[in-house]
Amino acid sequence: MEIKEYLDARKLLKEFTYDITPMDKGYSDKTLHINLSGNAITIKNVPQEMKEKFIGGKGYGLKYLWDATTPETKWNDPENEIIIAGGPVCGITQYSGTGKSLVVTISPQTDSVMDSNVGGFFGPFLKVCGFDALELQGKAQNEVIIVLDSRDGGKIRIEEAPKEPIDSHALSELLTEMYSKDEADKMKVAVVSAGTAADHSLIGMLNFSFYDKKKQRVRLKQAGRGGTGTVFRDKKIKAVVAIIPKFGGDINNVVDMKAIRERGANFNKEMKELDDSQCEMRTKGTAHLVEIMNDYDLLPTHNYKFGSHPDADNIHSEKWKALFMQGTPDGCWMGCNMSCAKGVNNYLVRTGPYKGESVIVDGPEYENAGGLGSNCGIFNTDYIIEANFYCDTYGICTITWATLMAFLMECYENGILNEERTGGLKLNFGNADSAMELLHQLARGEGFGKIAGQGVRKLKKYFAEKGWGDPQFMQDIAMENKGLEYSEYVSKESLAQQGGFALTNKGPQHDEAWLIFMDMVNNQIPTFEDKAEALHYFPMFRTWFGLVGLCKLPWNDVEPANNAESDEPAKVPEHVDNYVTIYKAVTGRDFSKERLIEDSERVYNYQRMFNLRRGYGVRKWDAQPYRAAGPVTNEEYESRAERYDNQLKEIVGFDPEGKSTDEKRIALREYRERQYQSLIDAVYLRRGWDENGVPEMEFLKKIGMDLPELVDLRTKYDKGEWKLK
Ligand code: SF4
């Protein structure tokens, strides 16, 4: 179809003009609210208190979501919102990893608040359009596209758009073409979209586009976790587009550009000198991790049963390096020298509706290789690329899909599923064809694919209700916590990482804390108190990236040459100092590394209280599936028998000599489950929470979060008046 035909079919529902407020020290103090139920468009002023307490990004998302919803709001109620917000640092280009925005919503998977950190151009472009945040509320009657156009003053249009495709790669390319006059203009268009699988599942995600002028391709970054794309499609939004007139080097109108440039230049020098000998992010992206995880027995294999596999060489990072187009910049935001957004260019699609098309596939990243690949027993690069492409364009989270597929495969191998129950699909580990077909079924909203799209938590319940398997076994092997599927690391031998996954606010995603090397490999945090300290510091530190609009990767995926000699190498102190300097230089605010943690702590605890408001946020929901902590089956135990026998003898005080595998496995389980409870106690204490995991009133006061809504909630909870789920 010609572009004109798409445009001719459009119907303008609302046009709104406004004066663009330019950023000043990282903020405009204006946010945009769009309610699709009545096509109402409003610009709000950000109160000073909100700015001080919530900083930006995820903080703004949480605050707006709290105000917009009630404890009873369901994910598909019109009042649920999708909030997209950068943060004060988002949009600078002189330091790597500075274009991130945060997506916040009530999740269809967890029924609580979800946040997802995403690259691409939209976050910074929203700021060029004059807004610190965008709230999308209500539901459109028919399919709409929302356009924020700042080329000639500020204009916002809500248009019915019946003809445009839904799948992300096709829609993002079309809209980028539609809103640009020439090749150079394509850099000024940013598209947020989902895909057809988001229509039929709870695991939908959002794609944020960025134009790669060297490859002349529209590329995609994902706000993957927790079903953000499902909420987007439920509101009947096909896309949100931001168009800007030009991009200057200082959209934030910062206080001290010289300081930012200096830190940026130092960092770029480090990247140039050290990346090839450290993580090789510029040539392999995060896929460099595959063999490291395999070597340390951390690469999830066969639904996290094992941590390594002889065939892992087939998906080794050198294989990815050879497939990734090399020698062109791969930053998902301008000026990112880490350039980790690798992609397979000119990939010829082999299956499904786009068979025969030549596309660019963004990734695979480590999580895709470890999840779609080894965790499902499929050690095949072609399959991983194909599944990665379809997850992206269909708008579903690759991590979720991978962990879910691995769960289904283990269920299949244990007779919980069979061909009759899957509609003819043989879902044994390693079956790439069936796995691919299930994904296409989901996008079509058909068959067992549609059931699979409900996510692991609902699947295990469904299988149990059908009487298909032992509920306890399914509970043990279903790798979800709080309703969100685990990301792709084996945490069995790292108690701290078990907490790093299950003691998170949104569910087990590694963006809060990744402590496996500190804990398991380097033994730097041996006691419960040490682990609790790490499970305080790192989640708070990493939360801050999502408040200000930063990418976490440049923090520690390259480290200064002398980092190991610093006081606390795991914190990468020189890079922390870079962030403190940059934040001060953008905002002019008095700041320090201590204040950084304090800023995060306020928002982190607000999110914990938000979970409580939703009926969660207590100890019960911090439980982990036993597969995350130890061997569920005798097969698993025996695969690492020497390790486990030694632990029983030397740590647990249980003599394994002459004991059956069952006896040993049970003894180990009792020990590990006790350890996890002790870890929870230590972490709650360190975080200022009571023994049920609720922030203490005194603590909320101490950190300046004794806001009326939190005091009211905590008081009702204390009186037993708060309904928990
Ligand atoms: S490090 Fe990678 S993910 Fe982060 S901003 Fe740069 S290209 Fe994007």
Instruction: Please report the DSSP string for 534-549 in residue order.
Output: HHHHHHHHHHHHHHHT
pLDDT of 247 higher than 90: no
Rounded to whole angstroms, how far apart are CA atoms 531 and 231?
36
In 3D space, the residue among 257, 171, 562, 223 whose CA is nearest the CA of residue 398 turns out to be 223
In the prediction, which pLDDT does 137 show?
A: 98
User: Nearest Cα to 396, choosing from 242, 229, 512?
Assistant: 229
What mean pLDDT is predicted for residues 683-692? 98
Rounded to whole angstroms, the Cα distance separating 652 from 654 reads: 6
Residue type, 689: W
Q: What is the pLDDT of residue 488?
A: 97
Q: Is there a contact between 342 and 328 (Cβ–Cβ < 8 Å)?
A: no
Give how far Cα 516 sits from Cα of 373, 457, 484, 524, 625, Å.
21, 25, 20, 10, 18
What is the band of 363 on the pLDDT scale with cuts at 50, 70, 90? confident
Long-range residue pairs from 445-453, CB within 8 A, at least 24 positions apart, any chain: 445/196, 445/199, 445/200, 447/423, 448/421, 448/422, 448/423, 449/200, 450/200, 450/201, 452/201, 452/404, 452/405, 452/408, 453/197, 453/200, 453/201, 453/202, 453/203, 453/396
The mean pLDDT value of the chain amounts to: 97
C-alpha–C-alpha distance, residues 591 and 304, integer Å: 42
Give percent of the chain above pLDDT 70: 100
Q: How far apart are CA 485 and CA 226, in angstroms?
A: 9
Write the pLDDT tens digit of every residue in 609-622: 999 999 999 999 99
- Which of 387-396, 474-483, 505-514 has the weakest average pLDDT? 505-514
Ligand 1 atom closest to residue 553's alpha carbon, by position in its atom list: 1
Give the closest residue to 318 by CA, choosing from 347, 293, 343, 283: 283
Q: With a cut of 90, say whether residue 249 has pLDDT above it.
A: no
pLDDT (tens digit per residue) in 577-633: 999 999 999 999 999 999 999 999 999 999 999 999 999 999 999 999 999 999 999
**Residues within 6 Å of ligand 1 by CB:** 96-97, 119, 331-333, 336, 338-341, 551, 553-554
User: Each residue of 407-465: pLDDT tens digit?
Assistant: 999 999 999 999 999 999 999 999 999 999 999 999 999 999 999 999 999 999 999 99
Q: How far is it, in rounded angstroms, from Cα 634 to Cα 653?
A: 20
Cα–ligand 1 centroid distance for 239 (angstroms): 23
Beta strand extents in 51-126 (DSSP E only): 82-85, 101-106, 113-118
Return the best residue to mutate from 336, 366, 368 for the ligand 1 pocket (most ligand atoms within 8 A of CB): 336
Distance CA 78, CA 220 (A): 27
Nearest CA to ligand 1 atom 8: 332
CA distance linking residue 689 with residue 687, whole number of Å: 6
Say if residue 209's pLDDT is above 90.
yes
Q: What distance in Å separates the CA atoms of residue 278 and residue 519, rounded to the nearest whole number?
A: 20
Average pLDDT, stretch 172-184?
97
How confident is the model over 294-298, as a mean pLDDT?
97
Distance in angstroms (rounded) separating the CA atoms of residues 393 and 498 = 32
Average pLDDT over residues 386-396: 98
CA distances from 512 to 25, 88, 679, 716 (A): 27, 21, 17, 29
Q: What is the pLDDT of residues 56-76, one digit of tens each?
A: 999 999 999 999 999 999 999
Atom index in ligand 1 nearest the CA of residue 339 equals: 7
Closest CA relative to residue 144, chosen from 236, 71, 66:
236
Cα distance from N-terminal residue to C-terminal residue, the chain: 50
Nearest partner of 499 among 482, 515, 483, judged by Cα? 515
Q: Which of 220, 338, 342, 552 to mutate to test the pocket of ligand 1 (most atoms within 8 A of CB)?
A: 338
Cis peptide leading into residue 78 (ω within 30°): no
The pLDDT confidence band at residue 334, using thresholds 50, 70 and 90, is very high
Residue to substitute in 220, 551, 557, 575 for testing ligand 1 pocket (most ligand atoms within 8 angstroms of CB): 551
- pLDDT at residue 6 in the model: 98
Instruction: Say if CB 411 and CB 417 are below 8 A apart.
Output: yes
Phi, psi of 38 (to 5 degrees): -125, 15
Q: Which atom of ligand 1 is nearest to the CA of 552?
A: 4
| Single-letter code of the amino acid located at 203 | I
Give 97 Cα–ligand 1 centroid separation in angstroms.
5
Distance 334 CA to ligand 1 centre (A): 10
pLDDT at 478 over 90: yes
User: For residue 336, how far is its CA from the centre of ligand 1 (angstroms)?
Assistant: 6
